[in-house]
């Protein structure tokens, strides 16, 4: 009886030594799949991002569309757009440099002046026009 008990213990140990690592691998892979992935930043996904570097990449185009509406312009106002839909990264147009300065100014105002309660946007001055109205 002792030898069959010993065999049974060895058999259980052998089974456990084969099954336990497999279970751990499954648990680890499930945990890894459920771990939220860090989204790419605009700087990681797009070329020549200088101001909105830490913005989630998926938010860049919606932000640009809001700026289009606030300024009453289309993408080609600031960006070079080639027929093959490339060129957005080029700095050929002075409006792009001006836009970067204005975005930085807006961010600085919102950061430094609590009285505005982080509500200053392009639309605050532009109100749908490329040039701010007096």
Q: 90, exposed or middle or buried, with CB in 10 Å at 0-12, 13-18, 19+?
A: middle
Q: Same domain for 48 and 77? A: yes
Give the residue-averaged pLDDT of 27-51: 84
Q: Same domain for 46 and 101? A: yes
Up-side HSE of residue 4: CA atoms within 13 Å toward CB? 1
pLDDT band of 6, cuts 50, 70, 90 = low
Q: Same domain for 63 and 2? A: no
Note whether residue 79 is domain-resident. Answer: yes
Q: Same domain for 81 and 28? A: no
Q: Same domain for 100 and 116? A: yes
**Token representation of residue 82:** 């080639």
Mean of the per-residue pLDDT values of the chain: 87
Total structural domains in the chain? Answer: 2
48-69 residue pLDDT tens: 999 999 999 999 999 999 999 9
Q: Same domain for 24 and 51? A: no
80-111 residue pLDDT tens: 999 999 999 999 999 999 999 999 999 999 99
What was the pLDDT predicted at 31?
66
Q: Same domain for 2 and 49? A: no
Note whether residue 131 is domain-resident. Answer: no
Q: Same domain for 49 and 6? A: no
pTM over 0.85: no
Note whether residue 101 is domain-resident. Answer: yes
Q: 1 or 118, which is more confident?
A: 118
Q: Same domain for 69 and 106? A: yes
The C-alpha atoms of residue 84 and residue 64 are separated, in whole angstroms, by: 20
Q: Does residue 32 surpass a pLDDT of 80?
A: no
């Amino acid at each position: 009886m002792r030898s069959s008990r010993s065999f049974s213990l060895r058999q259980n140990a052998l089974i456990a030594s084969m099954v336990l690592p497999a279970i751990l691998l499954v648990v680890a892979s499930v945990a890894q799949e459920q771990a939220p992935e860090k989204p790419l930043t605009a700087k990681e996904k797009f070329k020549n991002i200088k101001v909105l570097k830490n913005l989630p990449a998926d938010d860049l185009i919606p932000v640009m569309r809001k700026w289009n509406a606030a300024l009453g312009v289309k993408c080609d106002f600031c960006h070079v757009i080639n027929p093959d839909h490339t060129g957005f990264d080029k700095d050929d147009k002075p409006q792009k440099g001006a836009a970067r300065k204005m975005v930085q100014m807006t961010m600085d105002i919102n950061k430094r002046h609590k009285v505005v309660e982080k509500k200053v946007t392009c639309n605050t001055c532009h109100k749908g026009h490329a040039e701010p109205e007096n």
